[in-house]
Structure 1
Amino acid sequence: MGKPWGGTVRRRFTILYAGGFLGSGTVLLALIYLMSGTRVTTLAPEGIPGQVPEQVPAGRSDLASAEQRIRDLGRQLSEVHAQQNHRLLVGSLIALAVMAGVSLLLGRILADRVLRPLRLITAATRRISAENLYQRLAVAGPVDEVKELADTVDGLLERLEVSFVAQRRFVGNASHELRTPLATMRASLDVAVAKPEPAAQTVALAGRLRAELDRVDHLLDGFLVLARAQHGTLADRTPVSLGELARRALTARTADIAAKALTVDDEVRANVRTEGSEALLFRMVENMVDNAIVHNQESGWVRISTEHTATEARLVVETGGRIFDQDQVDRLTQPFERLGTDRTGPEGSSGLGLSIVAAIVAAHDGRLALQARPEGGLRVVAALPSAARSDGVAP
């Protein structure tokens, strides 16, 4: 749940402004109340408004009667003065309560006005991602603290754009440049093996080197896919069936499945669809299937299923095996992270499989969940935004 007033700074400004208004109002009302407390200490009968002075007859009784009357009038005036003070106090408290509400309202209005440029900067910054780093805030107005902040953010975006472009260029150029010497090495190996009656050691060495060259080539290909998924744009978005991609991946790995005598439980459905780059999504599914096969035990099992909700299309790949620690499993989306202490990994493994899966899922605004099964093995769930079927009916 969000904060009741939208943010801590907004709440602080509101309380600050309201406290200032309320404090000023309290002091003003207190001064008015104190100044209105002047009491009349002397009173003559002729000084009473609306009263006609009476003639005091001669004699002591008449004088005592007049003094008593003056005391009665003074007491009445004191009571009236006390009532007026009470009404003034009540009125002041009511005015103070009203002013408290008005102060909160004015404080919130002023806080909104002060923070409005910051909210605009925040909203514009959130809309900028790796795909549109060329955009700038370009805040207009007087040179103040807010404009300095916006200009600083624009400078940061410019440096990030240069860095991202340089990174993409470096990864692409390095991968392509490294493929040239790799191709030369393969050609040299083929020439050495093609000679008449090559030595057995030469043939064995060529086989080992060719396997390592294939592994390096696979690693370079993984770097390219990872760079594209993390920093590239998805211009080739199209509706894609996760079920069809899963069946294609299983068909391509039939020999590897048979070599390990794995039991595959296929529960995929073709109507579970998402929208995105078909090439990247197929690589995602391939890596999930490869991870389930390569890191499985002999005569183990693999369960692949697809499911959908109103908003998500999910691909679930489960395997059996030994019990893993969830803390280790959570790190598998990082490049070159593997379960256990073996840094070389199984044959043909580049250590980029699940990190590529995570990058592709993130590029498609999805989420990846890795869970160590309590009874052993791993459960991998790729949840992507759902797409409508080709017949226009929602899945």
Structure 2
Amino acid sequence: MTVYTPHEGRFKLTLRLRMAALAGALLLVVGAVLVLFAWLLVTDERILVYGAVALVAVAATGVAGGYLIASHSLRPLRRVTATAQRLSGDSLDARMNYSGPDDEVAELAATFDAMLDRIAVAFDSQKRFVANASHELRTPLAVMRTEIDVTLSDPDADLTEYKRMAGVVRDASTRANALIEGLLLLARTEAQAGRRLTRKAHADLAAGVAAALSAVQPEIRRIGIEVESDLRPAPVVGDAALLDRLAGNLIENAVRYNSLGGRLWVRTGCDAAHAWLVVGNTGFEVPPGDVPAMFEPFRRGGRERTGARGSGLGLSIVRAVCDAHGGTVGAEAREEGGLEVTVRLPLAALTPVLTGTATVPRR
């Protein structure tokens, strides 16, 4: 028994037909056994004749009944199929909303709806990311084009004006290049999340922090930031370049969003299972409810990054690096203003815990 499905261009033995045939075959076998058993007891040829007729009727009834029962039972599955076929980028709000008995079908429908919720969230996040990335890239390009057009259209422009224009174009191109590099790094890091890292080596978070602090010393001196550091061994295994970028992003953010004459504190260490890094800074007040959004690309303090300093990818890259290394990152808004970020990564295997190990301090 087959059904022809024109849209597929081939015959298909559906689940309903298989269930119906199975029900009919089961009744036929059971009925045949009963008829044979009755004939052996009575030894009357009429029992075989009447039994055969009854078997045909029972089998036909079983097939028809099995088909109807299967059709009713599989109706929610057809709704799942129809919903999936209607899905597109503009119709991700479609849901099963199954209200039948609490059985396997209800579990499947609930799982399907939950999957659509996750897909919708990811799709919206991707659209927002693309829109923000486009905006951030358009801004420096627009600045460069405007400066060039204005300068070239000025017949009285002299060498000084052209030098000024060249400086603006250089700064805008530097911003665009930094954004592109950040996007590529974020894409590379997120691609490794949940999978084995392509490059692994023993590293120490303290070494990455020391290098990052050295790189921002000119800015620290310009703003007059007081730096407190307690760099104890924090051995980990992972991609050294990504780990250095993690420390660099946290230190750069702590300097960039600090206040004149503010403070910056950095601590590293390890416990029995994790190596940790804490970076905190003074600065503007951050509402606690805005902290989770700060790890999204192009967002700061729960607000979209439009024209703010930096590319807006710092903390999102930190989160991606932590995910790729099987670690976690969290942040806490300080009542006095500023932020404290804590990174935890698995302690390097087969590496002895060095002296000076301590628990993560609280500020």
TM-score, with length taken from structure 2 = 0.53
What is the aligned partner in structure 1 of residue 326 from structure 2?
365
Take 2:200 and 2:174, find their aligned partners in 1: how far apart are those partners?
31
Paired letter, 1:245: G
What is the aligned partner in structure 1 of residue 228 from structure 2?
265
More off after superposition, 207-216 vs 334-343: 334-343
1:231 matched to 2:191? The reply is yes
Q: Is the contact made by 1:304 and 1:317 (CA closer than 8 Å) also made in structure 2?
A: yes
Indicate how the Cα distance of structure 1 residues 319 and 369 shifts in structure 2: closer, same or farther if over 3 A, else same: same
Q: Is the contact made by 2:257 and 2:284 (CA closer than 8 Å) also made in structure 1?
A: no
Give the 5 Å matches for 1:82-97.
none
SS state of the match for residue 257, structure 1?
Answer: helix
1:216 matched to 2:179? The reply is no
Task: Give the C-alpha shift of residue 198 in structure 1.
Answer: 4.9
Task: Give the C-alpha shift of residue 327 in structure 1.
Answer: 1.1
Q: Is the contact made by 1:267 and 1:304 (CA closer than 8 Å) also made in structure 2?
A: yes
Task: Give the C-alpha shift of residue 343 in structure 1.
Answer: 3.2
What is the aligned partner in structure 1 of residue 54 from structure 2?
none
Paired letter, 1:239: H
Q: Deviations over 1:199-231 (max 9, x none)?
A: 322211211111011000000000111011101
What is the aligned partner in structure 1 of residue 66 from structure 2?
none
Q: Deviations over 1:360-380 (max 9, x none)?
A: 011100000011012321000
What is the aligned partner in structure 1 of residue 26 from structure 2?
none
Among candidates 350, 353, 356, match of residue 394 of structure 1: 353
SS state of the match for residue 370, structure 1?
Answer: strand
Q: Is the contact made by 1:281 and 1:360 (CA closer than 8 Å) also made in structure 2?
A: yes
SS state of the match for residue 332, structure 1?
Answer: helix
Q: Is the contact made by 2:258 and 2:284 (CA closer than 8 Å) also made in structure 1?
A: no
Take 2:316 and 2:215, find their aligned partners in 1: how far apart are those partners?
21
Take 1:198 and 1:237, find their aligned partners in 2: how far apart are those partners?
54
TM-score, with length taken from structure 1 = 0.49
Q: Is the contact made by 1:262 and 1:300 (CA closer than 8 Å) also made in structure 2?
A: yes
Paired letter, 1:394: V
What is the aligned partner in structure 1 of residue 163 from structure 2?
203
Q: Deviations over 1:341-362 (max 9, x none)?
A: 5733544x00000000000011
Take 1:256 and 1:206, find their aligned partners in 2: how far apart are those partners?
24
Among candidates 316, 320, 340, match of residue 379 of structure 1: 340
Take 2:307 and 2:220, find their aligned partners in 1: how far apart are those partners?
18
Among candidates 296, 303, 313, match of residue 265 of structure 2: 303
Q: Is the contact made by 1:237 and 1:278 (CA closer than 8 Å) also made in structure 2?
A: yes
Take 2:161 and 2:301, find their aligned partners in 1: how far apart are those partners?
35
Indicate how the Cα distance of structure 1 residues 204 and 357 shifts in structure 2: closer, same or farther if over 3 A, else same: same
Q: Is the contact made by 1:338 and 1:345 (CA closer than 8 Å) also made in structure 2?
A: no
Give the 5 Å matches for 1:143-154.
none
Take 1:319 and 1:208, find their aligned partners in 2: how far apart are those partners?
31
Paired letter, 1:300: G
Q: Is the contact made by 2:298 and 2:304 (CA closer than 8 Å) also made in structure 1?
A: no
Paired letter, 1:369: G
Q: Is the contact made by 1:387 and 1:394 (CA closer than 8 Å) also made in structure 2?
A: no
Take 1:267 and 1:339, find their aligned partners in 2: how far apart are those partners?
27
Take 1:382 and 1:297, find their aligned partners in 2: how far apart are those partners?
23
SS state of the match for residue 255, structure 1?
Answer: helix
Take 1:283 and 1:259, find their aligned partners in 2: how far apart are those partners?
23
**Aligned pairs, how many?**
215
Indicate how the Cα distance of structure 1 residues 342 and 333 shifts in structure 2: closer, same or farther if over 3 A, else same: closer
Paired letter, 1:240: A
Task: Give the C-alpha shift of residue 245 in structure 1.
Answer: 0.7
What is the aligned partner in structure 1 of residue 23 from structure 2?
none
Indicate how the Cα distance of structure 1 residues 206 and 342 shifts in structure 2: closer, same or farther if over 3 A, else same: farther
Take 1:321 and 1:298, find their aligned partners in 2: how far apart are those partners?
9
Take 1:293 and 1:344, find their aligned partners in 2: how far apart are those partners?
20
Q: Percent identity?
A: 36
Paired letter, 2:187: A
Task: Give the C-alpha shift of residue 252 in structure 1.
Answer: 0.8
Take 2:255 and 2:203, find their aligned partners in 1: how far apart are those partners?
24
Q: Deviations over 1:150-172 (max 9, x none)?
A: xxx9xx9xxx9xxxxxx9xxx9x
> Which structure 1 residue ranges, 4+ long, deviate > 4 Å from structure 2?
none
Take 2:213 and 2:322, find their aligned partners in 1: how far apart are those partners?
20
More off after superposition, 229-238 vs 281-290: 229-238
Q: Is the contact made by 2:294 and 2:302 (CA closer than 8 Å) also made in structure 1?
A: no
Among candidates 188, 203, 211, match of residue 248 of structure 1: 211
Uncovered stretches (5+) of structure 2, i.e. residues with no partner: 1-103, 120-125, 152-156, 355-363
Take 1:262 and 1:355, find their aligned partners in 2: how far apart are those partners?
25
Take 1:273 and 1:286, find their aligned partners in 2: how far apart are those partners?
17
Among candidates 293, 299, 321, match of residue 331 of structure 1: 293
Task: Give the C-alpha shift of residue 320 in structure 1.
Answer: 1.4
Uncovered stretches (5+) of structure 1, i.e. residues with no partner: 1-144, 161-166
Task: Give the C-alpha shift of residue 340 in structure 1.
Answer: 7.0
RMSD: 3.5
What is the aligned partner in structure 1 of residue 316 from structure 2?
355
